[in-house]
Amino acid sequence: MKKGLILFIAMMMLLLAGCSGKSDSDKKSTDDQANAGGTSEELVPEDGATLKLWTVKNKFTEDAIAEFEKQYGVKVELEDVFYTETLDRLKTDGPAGLGADLLAFGHDRVGDAAKSGLILPNDYFEEETKSNTEQSAIDAVTFDNILYGYPQYMYTYAMYVNRDIVGDAKLDTWDEVMDIAKKYNDIPNNKYGFMMETNSLYDVNSFMAGYGGYVFGKNGTDKNDLGINSEGSVKGMEFFKSLKEILPIKNTEITRDVKTSLFHEGKVGLNIDGTFNAASYKDVSFDMEVVPLPEMPGGKRPLAYSGISGLYVSAYSKYPNAAKLFAHFMASKDNQIKSAEALGNIPVFKGVDSSMPEFKDNKLMQGFIEQSKYTTPMPNIPEMEYYWVNVVPALELIWNGADIQKTLDQAQEKMKESIEAGSK
């Protein structure tokens, strides 16, 4: 009797297992979806959902929006708002019910946005995002161990080269840059062998980082360990100051618009500029390429700041599901490749690199992807905003001959004061 009962129970268990219709792989898929912050059901937009997006308007984004609207039936309104302005605008417009559902900004503002409760975590697509994205990009859009962003691309800067002016110079060292500038410079006629924005701390930081300078200790996470006046930072600023010999212009006169215009006109041989300006140079009349920033004296290579641009879902959005779907859609492999081809952005989707056929003959992408090996990510803690405020004024002082150590000491002291005041 017992033996028959046991046999019956075993048969029933087998029958139930067969009726469940789920293999081990099916169960794993369901578990994976649950771990991603969602359920076994596909995320669907809310009824009647419409979205407002704040980012820079361009054809790539407009085309992507059209494709999303076609696939999901959700209308997306694009407002042309520059990346550095989106988050500050949300701080005022969000509570008033006027903010965007989605906004783009650089990862250095993630800590500020998260701490202020302005953005929602990337929860439903968390595991998929992590498995598809380069770890450095994941780290950049994560704060307090919570993933917030949907990384779209890396942005950084390197050396744009007008080969019609500089010929076949290798540009491995700054000595070559100095020689080219001295030969070509004709300041009264607005001709320059070399140009950079000397009032851009984003660019100048590469020299400090290359010599070991830093903003915050512990890989940019310790607000109490400041390295603005460290030995490496001072040495980097000394090199920066030496460039005035080949760029004898007032710090405030070298604006982005001026530099972009002169390079476009073929009046600049070497131009430090970012991936974000690549599209504006696509129609230049001269032979152009991009190379990594050359080695500084002592064999130290500048470490350009890198940023990760991503989309973030506003905590004020009435349609978070639709917003998450759109952010995930924009960060897809296909859209990252299209963004690279159209705008010069560096993909952060795993496996998308310079060896791909799409980038084989793209001199700009080849150069920027090579430069990406020599970068340092911007810190993303909230206190990063004080770096720009307190250290940018030091650039003009140093460029005009001020004592470097004293100037950086003062900048660091002001930054300490800002951090202390912000902690109260």
Q: What's the fold here for domain 50-155+307-376?
A: D-Maltodextrin-Binding Protein; domain 2 (3.40.190)
Q: Where are the domains of the chain?
A: 50-155+307-376, 157-306+380-423
Other beta carbons within 10 angstroms of residue 135's beta carbon come to 10
Contacts of 144 (CB under 8 A, 6+ apart): 114
Please tell me the distance from the alpha carbon of residue 261 to that of residue 281, in angstroms, as a whole number.
Answer: 10
Tokens of 226: 């400041």
Please tell me the distance from the alpha carbon of residue 74 to that of residue 105, in angstroms, as a whole number.
Answer: 23
The superfamily CATH assigns to domain 157-306+380-423 is Periplasmic binding protein-like II (3.40.190.10)
One fold for both 50-155+307-376 and 157-306+380-423? yes
- Strands 75-80 and 192-195 come out as unpaired
Nearest residue to 54 via CA among 15, 93, 110, 95: 93
Residue 232: its pLDDT value, please?
Answer: 97
Nearest residue to 75 via CA among 66, 84, 83: 66
Please tell me the distance from the alpha carbon of residue 38 to that of residue 371, in angstroms, as a whole number.
Answer: 37
What single letter denotes the amino acid at residue 355?
A: S
Give 368-422 as a DSSP string.
Answer: HHHHGGGEEEPP-STTHHHHHHHHHHHHHHHHTT--HHHHHHHHHHHHHHHHHHH
Residue 44: its pLDDT value, please?
Answer: 96
What residues form DSSP beta bridges with 217? 222
Please tell me the distance from the alpha carbon of residue 274 to that of residue 254, in angstroms, as a whole number.
Answer: 15
Per-residue pLDDT of the chain (424 residues; tens, 9 = 90+): 434 444 433 434 433 334 333 333 333 333 333 333 333 478 999 999 999 999 999 999 999 999 999 999 999 999 999 999 999 999 999 999 999 999 999 999 999 999 999 999 999 999 999 999 999 999 999 999 999 999 999 999 999 999 999 999 999 999 999 999 999 999 999 999 999 999 999 999 999 999 999 999 999 999 999 999 999 999 999 999 999 999 999 888 888 899 999 999 999 999 999 998 998 898 899 999 999 999 999 999 999 999 999 999 999 999 999 999 999 999 999 999 999 989 989 999 998 877 788 887 888 888 998 999 999 999 999 999 999 999 999 999 999 999 999 999 999 999 999 999 987 7
Q: Residues 96, 366: contact at Cβ < 8 Å?
A: no
b/e burial code for range 109-125 (CB count within 10 A of at least 16 → b): bbbbbbeeebbbbbbbb
Tokens of 32: 């994976």
Nearest residue to 364 via CA among 254, 284, 244: 284
Contacts of 398 (CB under 8 A, 6+ apart): 237, 240, 241, 404, 407
b/e burial code for range 261-288 (CB count within 10 A of at least 16 → b): ebbbeebbbbbbbbbbbbbebeeeeeeb
Eight-state DSSP code of residue 347: P
Nearest residue to 241 via CA among 198, 273, 274: 198
